[in-house]
Structure 1
């Protein structure tokens, strides 16, 4: 079965979780909506084109392999914004600061991000897929819009280097990706310690069935698999709404 596998690495990345209060947490791997948004940017699909955005999210099953979990960082932010003034709408940021200067209030927040994190993403097309995996690979190689890792301030540090890989399941596809090519851009400390790629700890997240990931063998056992629920399935891009999605987690 054909899989599309590509890497995501940048100096900084942030994969948003459910936001409560003034703290914006980051997950250790990209969400379903993040991958769909990245593919949409590569294809040139705008956020306002909701139908096509939903097709990207629902037309493919994804799996993630964490190559390097990175270092969790947290920034303290202060944001000034005016409160609402009846039916009046501020059209620009300048209007907020100039027209609404007498109504400005300060919002305090803390935002998490990952430094030097890297993951591999594997996609498998479903029957409802609108674009072929070859089309997605070509779009990632020559994206229409700028690609970034969760926030516009966090661009990719290296190309996605998408590969079409024939494999029995997600695990084989992710493990067949040329990892040595990935590691040449980071993990200098690993080379200094003379680590091999096989020595690195591995974590996998995938959706679908357990059989979609791997057959039970000496290394992989069903007893070590966790089933998780994540609120990252796009329901409406315009209203910024999401619904729960089930996925599995296995650590080698």
Structure 2
């Protein structure tokens, strides 16, 4: 078995399990159903298609940079003949969160998923359509099991959060993963059977939570060299280049 690693980062994410009606909540970490939905979109799987191909995958996430929960509201309008009604609905999001997600499965299938994520059929989103992922999304395939991959991959948090974690003496990260057959976890209704809008269906899965020491990630010699991800944007950069070209023309 191998493990496909994804970096789930964006200004906003939302991973709901029990959201209903006018209140759409979010978990504090990505859900299996949300990530499988993103994979299905990348592969061009429609809502009415079977999800059996994804059942073989083991799923887990490492919370590298916990997000801050934010509440937003939307005004919903409904036309009923000559009358129009409106009401407020609430949406919850995670702001500035970064997660390391892993999917363990057959190497050939993981290679298909990797290719699909890099050339998606449908737009990708982190839980909701309004939350597109930031790059890099795909970190690659590791020839190890899920838990080993989550324990070995270098810390993905932003540099400013790593400094904050040092000041606040944060020494560990949390891993949330599918429980093994011989492990005692807790049940969450987060195993997608169907995304059909006529009848969405989710089963329960057993989940384990555990901690991993940050020192183990930082000092590990098995991790690949970290790729620096630009997180700062200079809105004047293009104008500065234009100014230089104009000055050269005037000289």
TM bin (shorter chain): 0.7 to 0.9
RMSD (Å) for aligned C-alpha atoms: 2.6
The structural deviation recorded for 1:41 is 1.5
Question: What is the aligned length?
Answer: 209
- For the residues of structure 2 that align with 1:9 and 1:243, how far apart are their CA atoms? 27
Matches within 5 A, 1:72-221: 72-82=69-79, 100=81, 102-125=82-105, 132-167=109-144, 169-179=145-155, 182-183=156-157, 186-191=158-163, 195=166, 201-209=172-180
- For the residues of structure 1 that align with 2:26 and 2:110, how far apart are their CA atoms? 28
Partner-residue secondary structure (3-state), 1:202: strand
- For the residues of structure 2 that align with 1:110 and 1:55, how far apart are their CA atoms? 34
Q: Could you give the per-residue CA deviations for residues 118-169 of structure 1, whole angstroms, max 9, x where no partner exists?
A: 111111126xx9x6111111222222221111111111121212311122x4
- For the residues of structure 2 that align with 1:135 and 1:199, how far apart are their CA atoms? 37
Contact 2:126–2:132 (CA under 8 A) maintained in structure 1: yes
Contact 1:7–1:162 (CA under 8 A) maintained in structure 2: yes
The structural deviation recorded for 1:210 is 7.0
- For the residues of structure 2 that align with 1:201 and 1:176, how far apart are their CA atoms? 13
- For the residues of structure 2 that align with 1:111 and 1:76, how far apart are their CA atoms? 6
1:24 aligns with 2:36: no
Larger relative contact order (CA 8 Å, sep ≥ 6): 1
Which is higher, the Rg of structure 1 or of structure 2?
Answer: 2
State the partner residue of 1:248. 208
- For the residues of structure 1 that align with 2:165 and 2:37, how far apart are their CA atoms? 37
